Amino acid sequence: MSQTLIVAKFGGTSVADFDAMNRSADVVLTNPDTRLVVLSASAGVTNLLVSLAEGQEQAQRAYLLDEIRRIQYAIVDRLRNPAVIRDEIDRMIENITMLSDAASLATSNALTDELVSHGELMSTLLFVEILRERQVEAEWFDVRKVMRTNDRFGRAEPEIATLAEQAAALLQPRLAQSLVITQGFIGSEHKGRTTTLGRGGSDYTAALLGEALKAARVDIWTDVAGIYTTDPRVVPSAKRIDDITFEEATEMAIFGAKVLHPATLLPAVRSDIPVFVGSSKDPAAGGTRVHRETANPPLFRALALRRRQTLLTLHSLNMLHSRGFLVEVFTILARHNISVDLITTSEVSVALTLDTTGSTSTGDSLLTQALLTELSSLCRVEVEENLALVALIGNNLSRARGVGKEVFGTLEPFNLRMICYGASSYNLCFLVPGEDAESVVRALHKNLFE
């Protein structure tokens, strides 16, 4: 492929309705190097499909299906020749109805993925139709033909080598002929069943395809014009960051910045493909460029906030001078598929945070009774919920002087439940009560960035 290929991804709000889709089409057509377009489901549709997948009573099913129908037909009805596409959307909705009926009898992760995938299938069909009405040579492509994954439904991992082979064979030749529109977030395992890559997976899809096709850049079009020093909804005076490194952006994403999904960046980092983040509502506003290195990285770069954190504190006198306690704890957690986020220890106790955000399945299922029982046989367990994690992202934080005074001086009025500092020179994290989270972010932003 020529080194000028751009893969463009549009999020749910960018394909939410007829007008949004047309704005996104404008963005695509402005740059002739944009040959592959990856779409999320129209805003709201994925959540409705996830609800249906959880198994609903007849009346609730009917209501959710009507909502999906309403969102998608609002787009169909504004097309000049809606007949062809209406049949296709009808067929999709019949499928969704059938799968929802099945889910009301018995739910499963595989069924959830099959159901949820219809959001992206519908938005891409509609987008192709919008482009064709503008006389653009556009082709719909089923990403499941190339995005081969393992069978961990709900959070499947792609098989990179297979993806590269399939993309070269099936996608590459098409890009020369026409503009190709495909789905984010979904894939298929070796038996051909549909899988999903976990929430935020459309960005990941775009970066994976960019890597497989050796793209020159991946553009992520969303509803904000780039990456800001913190969430502008929390701090209206947050400033846009024009250039940021992969490391900083990854840290921000890991700690809850909504703009990019952490896994998204991995394929781009591996293959040194720059990522651009801009707003499809206002493409002229510019955006943020994410690349390997930037000139003069600042000490403090951004603040990220992650809500709904759970703190698990394990006390055991046996821990004192004994070996193997942590090994046992981590073995139990691993057996229950739980990844630990932050950790601090004392002589007789260890505190760990679990991140419940980020999976398609509901977060409440993380701390199962079986897990708590198993841990309780080893030590005394305390669980605290509804905490928030605030992360200060920067550069060489662990080697700079005076960071503690700058940060903790500002936080004097707040209760800090846990602090993690020193393991990474890119972040300093603390856990605070959920209701204080926004005030903490505002106070820090004012002191460090304004």
Q: What is the CATH number of the domain that holds 307?
A: 3.30.2130.10
| pLDDT, tens only, 132-155 | 999 999 999 999 999 999 999 999
445 and 317 housed in the same domain = yes
Domain with 306, as residue range(s), is 301-449
CA 110 – CA 113 distance, rounded (Å): 5
97 and 216 housed in the same domain = yes
Contact predicate 294/244, CB 8 Å = yes
Contact predicate 129/20, CB 8 Å = no
Last residue of a domain, one of 179, 205, 222: 222
Please list the residues that pair with 148 across neighbouring strands: 188
In a domain, 266, yes or no: no
Tokens of 238: 């947050």
Tokens of 232: 């502008």
Residue ranges of the binding site: 9-12, 46, 120, 222-223, 228, 233, 258-259
213 and 67 housed in the same domain = yes
3-state helix, strand, coil in the chain (%, to 5): 45, 25, 30
Residue ranges of the binding site for ATP: 9-12, 222-223, 228, 233, 258-259
In a domain, 403, yes or no: yes
Last residue of a domain, one of 222, 243, 267: 222
- Overall domain count for the chain: 2
Where does 213-324 have alpha helices with state H?
246-254, 262-270
Last residue of a domain, one of 161, 191, 222: 222
In a domain, 238, yes or no: no
Q: What is the CATH number of the domain that holds 37?
A: 3.40.1160.10
Closest CA to 226 of 240, 246, 236, 239: 240
Q: What are phi and psi of 229, to 5 degrees?
A: -60, -25
83 and 188 housed in the same domain = yes
Q: Which residue has the tokens 């400033």?
A: 239
Each as own residue / partner, the long-range contacts of residues 381-386 (CB below 8 Å, 24 or more positions apart, any chain) are 381/312, 381/313, 381/314, 382/312, 382/313, 382/314, 382/315, 383/310, 383/311, 383/312, 384/310, 384/311, 384/313, 384/417, 385/308, 385/310, 385/311, 386/308, 386/433, 386/434
42 and 169 housed in the same domain = yes
Q: How far is CA 413 from CA 304, 418, 444, in A?
A: 20, 15, 12
In a domain, 258, yes or no: no
Closest CA to 123 of 215, 4, 18: 18
127 and 218 housed in the same domain = yes
Residue ranges of the binding site for substrate: 46, 120
120 and 10 housed in the same domain = yes
In a domain, 55, yes or no: yes
pTM assigned to the model:
0.81
Contact predicate 88/79, CB 8 Å = no
Which helix (H) or strand (E) covers residue 63, if one does? helix 58-76
215 and 310 housed in the same domain = no
215 and 311 housed in the same domain = no
33 and 166 housed in the same domain = yes
In a domain, 128, yes or no: yes
Nearest 5°: CA angle at 174, between 202 and 290? 40
In a domain, 92, yes or no: yes
In a domain, 242, yes or no: no
Please list the pLDDT of the chain residue by residue as tens digits (450 residues).
Answer: 457 999 999 999 999 999 999 999 999 999 999 999 999 999 999 999 999 999 999 999 999 999 999 999 999 999 999 998 999 999 999 999 999 999 999 999 999 999 999 999 999 999 999 999 999 999 999 999 999 999 999 999 999 999 999 999 999 999 999 999 999 999 999 999 999 997 678 999 999 999 999 999 999 998 888 999 999 889 999 999 999 998 898 888 888 777 676 667 789 888 999 999 999 999 999 999 998 888 889 999 999 999 989 999 999 887 766 678 888 899 999 998 888 889 998 888 999 998 765 444 444 557 889 999 999 998 999 999 999 999 999 999 988 888 888 899 999 999 999 999 888 889 999 999 999 999 999 999 999 998
